[in-house]
Amino acid sequence: MGYNTKLADRIREALMHLPDVEEKEMFRGICFMVNGKMCVCVSGDEMLCRIGAGQMETALETNGVRQMVMARNKPSKDFVFVSEEGFHNQKDFDHWIKLALDFNPMAKATKKRK
């Protein structure tokens, strides 16, 4: 299954003002790395946003939002999937981008593989 290229374009446009954005293919989609850290991804038709544990409880009360579950059914403390229901209008879309960008300075960088 491919990923939503229109959603990727929306995210690309929302991040274009930033100096250090890199795109990498992962999670069966595309991930936007900001300052060398995963920030926002597109997987299928959903956004995967790295918002941090401090925003998790509030985020999960929003329609169209679910916590990312990693290997061995371990919930991620920092990532949520947001379906189109959760970002159907520009205000909601901007909200998720802002949460991810606000958390980015505190996020741990991924270790580089040798």
Q: Where are the domains of the chain?
A: 5-106
CATH topology of domain 5-106: Aspartate Aminotransferase, domain 1 (3.90.1150)
Decide: 100 and 39 in contact? Cβ < 8 Å: yes
Query: Distance between the two ends of the chain, CA-based, in angstroms?
Result: 30
- Tell me what pLDDT residue 1 has: 56
What pTM, to 2 d.p., does this model score? 0.90
The residue among 110, 113, 95 whose CA lies nearest residue 34 is 110
- H-type alpha helices, 5-103: 5-15, 53-59, 90-103
Which residues are registered as beta bridge partners of 43? 29, 46
The rounded average pLDDT for each run of 10 residues, N- to C-terminus, in the chain (114 residues) is 90 96 90 95 95 94 91 86 94 97 90 61
What's the burial of 56, exposed, middle or buried (CB within 10 Å: 0-12/13-18/19+)? middle
What's the burial of 12, exposed, middle or buried (CB within 10 Å: 0-12/13-18/19+)? middle
- Tell me what pLDDT residue 113 has: 57
